[in-house]
Chain A
Amino acid sequence: MVSKPHGGKLVNRVVTGRRREYLLEEAKELRKVSVSESLAADVSNIAHGVYSPLEGFMVYNDYYHVLYDMRLANDVPWTIPIVLDVSREEILGLKEGDDIAISFKNTMLAIMEIEDIYKWDKREFCKKVFKTVDVRHPGVSKTMHRKDLLIGGSIYLLNDVPEPFERYRLWPVETRVLFEAKRWRTIAGFQTRNVPHRGHEYVQKAALTFVDGLFVNPLVGWKKTRDYKDEVIVRAYEALIENYYPKDSVVFSVLRMEMRYAGPREAILHAIVRKNFGCTHFIVGRDHAGVGDFYGPYEAWDIFNEFPDLGIIPMFIREAFYCMKCGGFVNEKICPHEEEYRVKVSGTKLRKMILSKEKPPEYMMRPEVVEVILNFERPFVE
């Protein structure tokens, strides 16, 4: 049976039909707040239940509890505040109880009922969420540039942001129907923001050995420069799945959501999100959602001890490497041989080879995947 939604109920804040027409008219009369691409993604994710049980952007009470206790005010686990920042000018004259319209570029996204307007201490936010205030951390520098006020309240979604990978966009309500149709009782979610190399494949298949289905769900959207472009990731996975995965054991879909690089706290958020998609298990990588050396390699594993009531089972699978003596992909736990026999598949090494249009060897990356990537003139975000 697919997992129960986080907090008990799958949220649906999507307005349709005549009510939508009516609210679209009303939205024209409202004060408009124009949001960034990543906030626009949050709006869609809230409305489609990806962030269940959230029905809107957080009010102060939830914000406070999440920051300090890693739980919502009603005690449900939650580790990163989902907040909407605005400037004083944008909401001048508005008060709690008023409605605002949220737009992205030329799309009217949603109406929000303002339940709370409050100031936030961005440094404190960074200290808690990222465990650092060092501006070299991408999450910190982004947070420090955000606006000074937060507004919280429930949203009503009128339009989704157009999705370039529409064919691969599934919402939780869809994956839940899909997993049930496939009669999967146990499903492992895999989070990624990278093209798959042999190490990833090993980890996914190690998990798949114990569950009915694998849900590969890369994040697309806001990334750092030098990351692989979204389209490259999608095409690379198509090639890998087509050639190396049993047809009925894997579902691939994309999720538009910002990477925050909050390490352990983000690992919990990633697990909650996959629980809402119906996953019963979640693969947690070494240094999951980490960046640079801001987090210890296993911090993202340890934090799961604090959430016995999370409602999704973490799978801690060690990083894989190729061992010449073992003659295959193994991990530290199962290979007794010395360093000299071990070949680590490093993302950095692969990136360098691809940049110089060099073909990585087969033990690092499947040739079909290599071909897809090398076919792109410029596979990296610039």
Chain B
Amino acid sequence: MGFKIMGEEKVAVHISKELYEKARKYVEESEGEFKSVDELVEFVLKEVLSEEVEEKVFTKEEEEKIKERLRALGYI
């Protein structure tokens, strides 16, 4: 998946100096895969958030309806 940071609005985030140094070292050793700590942070956050925020295509109400059908059919 492409990695865009150009042209997007930016905000500042604070992280510990220690973590920053570790990240900076990682970027140096990445052999050009990441150009800056900002890029690394953005990449990692994106990965984590895409795992967590799975877009549900149904509401709680619809979920209950689905469960009702599954119960009626003996699946649960």
Do the two shown chains form a genuine complex with each other?
yes
Q: Which residues of A come within 8 Å of B, CB atoms?
A: 4, 8-10, 12, 49, 167, 170, 173-174, 177-178, 181-182, 251
The A-contacting residues of B in range 26-76, CB under 8 angstroms, are: 50, 54-55, 57-58, 63, 66-67, 69-70, 73, 75-76
A173 to B58, Cβ gap below 8 A?
Answer: yes
| CB of A237, distance to nearest CB on chain B (Å) | 14
Q: Which residue of B lies closest to A253 (CB)?
A: B75
How many B residues touch the partner, as a band?
A: 10 to 19
Q: What are the residues of chain B within 8 A of A9 when measuring CB–CB?
A: 55, 57
A251 to B74, CA, bound (A): 11
B75 to A251, Cβ gap below 8 A?
Answer: yes
Q: Given contacts A182-B76, A251-B75, is CB(A174)–CB(B69) below 8 Å? A: yes
A177 to B66, Cβ gap below 8 A?
Answer: yes
A251 to B76, CA, bound (A): 10
A174 to B67, CA, bound (A): 8
Q: What are the residues of chain B within 8 A of A177 when measuring CB–CB?
A: 63, 66-67, 70
Q: What are the residues of chain B within 8 A of A4 when measuring CB–CB?
A: 54
Q: What are the residues of chain B within 8 A of A167 when measuring CB–CB?
A: 73
| CB of A302, distance to nearest CB on chain B (Å) | 26
Q: Given contacts A178-B75, A178-B76, is CB(A12)–CB(B66) below 8 Å? A: no
Q: Given contacts A4-B54, A9-B55, A173-B58, is CB(A181)–CB(B70) below 8 Å? A: yes
A173 to B75, CA, bound (A): 14
Other contacts beyond A173-B66, A177-B67, A251-B75: 6, CB < 8 A: A9-B57, A10-B55, A173-B58, A177-B63, A178-B76, A181-B76
Q: Which residue of B lies closest to A2 (CB)?
A: B54
A8 to B49, CA, bound (A): 12
Q: What are the residues of chain A within 8 A of B67 when measuring CB–CB?
A: 177, 181
Q: Which residues of B come within 8 Å of A, CB atoms?
A: 50, 54-55, 57-58, 63, 66-67, 69-70, 73, 75-76
A12 to B76, Cβ gap below 8 A?
Answer: no
Q: Which residue of B lies closest to A171 (CB)?
A: B66
A174 to B66, Cβ gap below 8 A?
Answer: yes
Q: What are the residues of chain A within 8 A of B73 when measuring CB–CB?
A: 167
A1 to B34, CA, bound (A): 30
A173 to B62, CA, bound (A): 10
A177 to B70, CA, bound (A): 9
Q: 29 A-B pairs, CB-CB below 8 angstroms?
A: A4-B54, A8-B50, A8-B55, A9-B55, A9-B57, A10-B55, A10-B57, A12-B57, A49-B57, A167-B73, A170-B75, A173-B57, A173-B58, A173-B66, A174-B66, A174-B69, A174-B70, A177-B63, A177-B66, A177-B67, A177-B70, A178-B70, A178-B75, A178-B76, A181-B67, A181-B70, A181-B76, A182-B76, A251-B75
A43 to B12, CA, bound (A): 47
| CB of B66, distance to nearest CB on chain A (Å) | 5
Q: What are the residues of chain B within 8 A of A49 when measuring CB–CB?
A: 57
Q: 6 smallest A-B Cβ distances: which pairs?
A: A177-B66, A10-B57, A12-B57, A181-B76, A174-B66, A178-B70
Q: What are the residues of chain B within 8 A of A8 when measuring CB–CB?
A: 50, 55
Q: What are the residues of chain B within 8 A of A178 when measuring CB–CB?
A: 70, 75-76
Q: Which residue of A lies closest to B71 (CB)?
A: A181
A54 to B58, CA, bound (A): 18
